[in-house]
A and B are shown apart, each in its own frame.
Chain A
Amino acid sequence: MADTINLSRRGFIIGTGATGLTIGILAACSPGTGDSEGDAAATGEPNPEVNAWVHIGDDDVVTIRIARSEMGQGTLTGLAQLVAEELECDWDKVVTEYPTPGENLKRDRVWRDFSTGGSRGIRNSQDYVREGGAAARMMLVQAAANRWDVPVGECSVEKGVITHGPSGNELRYGEVAEDAASVEPPANVPLKDPSEWKIIGQPVKRLDTADKVTGKQLYGADIQLDGMVNAAIKAAPMRGGTVRSFDASSAEGMPGVQKAMQVGDTAVAVVADKWWNAQKALDAVQIEWAPGEGSDFSSAAFEADLDEGLTAEEAYVGNQVGDVDAAFENAAQVIEASYNAPHQNHACMEPMNATAVWTEEKCEVWCPTQNGEAALAATAEAAGLPIEQCDVYKLLLGGGFGRRGMSDYVTQAVTIAKEMPGTPVKLLWTREEDMEQGFYHPTTKARCQGALDADGKLTGIKIRLSGQSILAGLMPQALTDGMDPYAFQGLLPSGFDERAEDQTLKYTYPAALFDHAMRNPPVRPGFWRGVNANQNAIYLECFMDELAHAAGRDPLEFRLEYMTDSPKLAAVLEAAAEKSGWGNDDGKARGLCAFYSFGSYTAACAEVTVSDEGELKIHRIVAATDPGYGVNPQQIDAQVAGSFVYGLSAALYGEITFENGETVQKNFDSYPSMRLAAMPEVETIVMPSGGFWGGVGEPTIAVAAPAVLNAIYAATGKRIRKLPIKDQPLRDA
């Protein structure tokens, strides 16, 4: 097959034709030194690709194509491990590159889905990427057998060297790669048994570290193209707001300013030679906003809507077991508590940005995105061009967390670039813009009720969720008769919705009712790392703790009693509790949480103290996770430890509130993120039990807050049911 895609291993050049721009960005990472330029230059004439997933140069450098996005979560390295495992290549010779969404379209989506979210990057593509590696290996070995004119069964391969057993002849992959490209792809591609894995399951180093410690790593915000100009943007800060008018006269004479323009209905941008000049000038533009739906929205007032939902007659039922009314009628003791969780912003470290160049013939975009294909569709739409005349070049994301699954900033960049044909425009948001223009993690409340019998056994449990549906806001077509099954993440029975089979409840209750009163504020919601599992785990697992205490039971034993049908969840819970020293009398209070989400079993035991003055210190968290197969244990450790930073930043301080439709929080001073002084030691137990593929990037977020909240109760006897924890006295005066 011809090398139909223009992913040159040597130049890493994207020629944009119209403007003759060149920039090296396709190389996602390189072997050894990570010096992409040098390694790339060392690679010889480009052979044709072996198949869509694998290219091998004359010098044996193996380029593995990665369709999913890397945003720090390590998926790029993990996916490369999967391909390399079946390819039987030399891991030290592996580099990666991103095919473009445009190439994917041209080649009938040979790389399938580009979207990277829901902790699905590896688990939803592991089968076909391994097959890609295995098929390439079979073609390479066949090519060698053909050259020697021997049966393929007499050949073996190790680390990219093919050996003919009887003669002892050897050929390197690089020597047969060109021939292999014209070998008929095998129809049957058997995969290795997991017991034979040599690269999968190993704690290999990430492939993309070297440039990140020297400042060489290029992000979207860093891109520099010939003749490029810079844009700063301000969108209506209030929900539903639009631009009524703007006066740029005071900005026009400012240094470097080229243009001020309205972008869509909602924003004004200034284009200048430098971004700093553009932003300064934008600050000088007088904009009059027209209010719209939601421009008077206030979080404080919305509390009443959420409260009303807690007792409303009508609600969508997500899980119903047994006769819950009878359980409550016959209860010896009924426990009730209400919890809430506020809006959150993703606050990716790298602010939103995209660089676009538009001509009448084509439009190209360079951007960090979790969904290359959606970014391409947004590009084509904003460009007013057929999608075949557009393309998107993905860069490493400076954080994603769900925010960069959206393409609003791509649309803006293309809209601006269209006003300046042939000139590349880089749009970069301020942090303030990022805080004001989020797709926020929804706010919800929950009313939890439990029925205990005279022996302290749980006979029934009810959780009423009240609050926003993400699907209703982002993709109403995905609702089921108006209901959002994902609102019940981690609470659904198996078999309820095949899309949510990886998000089911693992407790077995004699009677239960979980329902959802959908209350949608005029705030656009978003998928936020961990999504609805985050608050649902707080509601379920803090309340289970309350029930255990009300029943006079040990919270560990109490949980295990209702986990008998889920030995894997019980196993992670027991592992975390044991390693933490659950029950130890060492002056530290402990709190537990176990939850199943994104197909993985996770648990945490938090160790805290609360001073007499109410000051919280989280000393250590022991976290256990069973993702089924663990592709790279040291990266699983990194994701688990990182989940506590993200999850506890939200629990401790994170809160987006609205007044007059506008976010009150504008930057990290009012939307703080955890720093080292607050960071506990994290001990991870990675315990893959095999037989399934669970996610890694998100599931642990869910257990972070409940474990700490339960530990605070153990320390103080006081329940914190409102998040964030900040500003609340942890001890009663």
Chain B
Amino acid sequence: MAELKVNGKTVTVEVEDETKPLLWVIREELGLTGTKYGCGIAQCGTCTVHIDGQPVRSCTYPVGALSGAEEITTIEGLSEDGSHPVQQAWVEMDIPQCGYCQPGMIMAVAGLLNNTPDPTDEDIDQQVTNICRCGTLARVRKGIHLAKTKKA
């Protein structure tokens, strides 16, 4: 048994295997399926969540590395009602296509804005490295510049 803080709540999960990736704890133990599996090797970013506000690829983050004190935020906890600036910008610009990569993309962008509230294109290139096979990247860049002007 381990205690985790997820989206502001303390939850208890059964962890038989400390190497189990946080992604699968979130999806299968907590039933929060907004966080997606895309590659399992930290390449695509669909599994991005925040640990203490920092974007992390949860598919390669062993649950045993958590102390329980960290604040874990998933897409479901980014805002209560979809009103986070990134979510607002994403709706306004109709960014998602299939949408499968977007929870991870949005969490990566929200993490970028936590660290760099007014990112340049170079900041974006370096810090948002998620894959989107549908190809929303052109709108994603515009969406980031729009999101940084918005208030929650």
Residues on A close to B: CB < 8 A?
71-74, 205-206, 208-219, 221-222, 224, 255, 274-276, 280, 347-351, 396-401, 428, 430-431, 634-635, 638, 641-646, 649, 667-669, 673-677, 679, 681-682
Contacts and interface: CB of A to CB of B under 8 A. Distances in A.
B126 A677 contact: yes
A214 B129 contact: no
**Secondary structure type dominating chain A contacts:** loop
Interface footprint category on B: 35 or more
A642 B135 contact: yes
A349 B32 contact: no
Interface in B91-109: 91, 94-103, 106
A642 B94 CA distance: 13
26 contacts: A71-B98, A209-B95, A209-B99, A214-B75, A214-B78, A215-B103, A221-B36, A221-B37, A222-B27, A255-B17, A274-B24, A274-B28, A275-B28, A349-B46, A350-B36, A350-B38, A350-B98, A400-B98, A638-B94, A641-B136, A641-B139, A642-B97, A642-B134, A646-B135, A669-B41, A679-B141
Contacts, number: 179
Interface string B38-69: 11110110100000000000000000000000
Nearest to A222: B33
Interface of B: 16-17, 20-21, 24, 27-29, 31-41, 43-44, 46, 74-76, 78-79, 82, 87, 90-91, 94-103, 106, 124-126, 128-141
A347 B133 contact: yes
A588 B21 CA distance: 46
A224 B31 contact: yes
A-B complex: 8 closest residue pairs judged by Cβ atoms: A215-B34, A642-B135, A645-B135, A72-B98, A398-B100, A212-B99, A72-B97, A215-B75
Contact of B137 (A280, A349, A679): A679
A350 B135 contact: no
Nearest to B86: A213
B94 A349 contact: no
A649 B99 CA distance: 19
B40 to A, nearest CB: 6
Most chain-B CB neighbours within 10 Å: which of A213, A219, A635, A643? A213
Contacts of A219: 36, 100
Contact of B87 (A71, A213, A649, A676): A213
B123 to A, nearest CB: 11
Contacts of A214: 34, 75-76, 78-79, 82, 87
Given A218-B33, A274-B28, A668-B41, 6 more contacts: A215-B32, A221-B36, A349-B131, A431-B38, A668-B43, A676-B128
Contact of A224 (B33, B34, B36): B33
A645 B74 contact: no
Nearest to A682: B138
A669 B135 CA distance: 18
Contacts of A644: 135, 138
